Structure 1
Amino acid sequence: MKPRPPYFLSEENIDHDSEIFDYIQELHDYLWAFVRTQIPGASGKLEEYLDEALEIAKRKIDGVEGGER
């Protein structure tokens, strides 16, 4: 993931009772669901797994598109 400044959309800067916070949380949950399809049992910080999960998924797609099924 791209490095972000510490203040970028931090929990301290977003009202937890807002629609924006709910939307970000929903996207966060979807990202974890994706990561766990590629790296079962992943837990901790999402940023530690997201790039690896994306690479695994890309390799799988490339294998299918290359005729390997």
Structure 2
Amino acid sequence: MTKWQYTTAQFVTRGLGNESGAGDLESALNQLGAEGWELVSSTVYHNVEAEQDVLLLCFKRPAPPASTAQPS
């Protein structure tokens, strides 16, 4: 059975249709993909205190195999 690792990333959105942050997001996604992370969900929520919308991304990748070495 496959075991998984999970991580999240958050990005402040700069408004719909405004691509000023798209390059930063794309670079971050490419870096996570190169590290083996797969995007499994995304959502946008409004941070009331900061008065900004935030894109929350969840990623997974297979967990490394458990070590079979005995502690010394």
TM-score (norm 1): 0.37
Q: Higher Cα Rg: structure 1 or 2?
A: 2
Comparing both structures, which one devotes a greater share of its residues to strand?
2
Comparing both structures, which one devotes a greater share of its residues to helix?
1
Q: Which has the higher contact order (CA 8 A, sep 6+)?
A: 2
TM-score (norm 2): 0.36
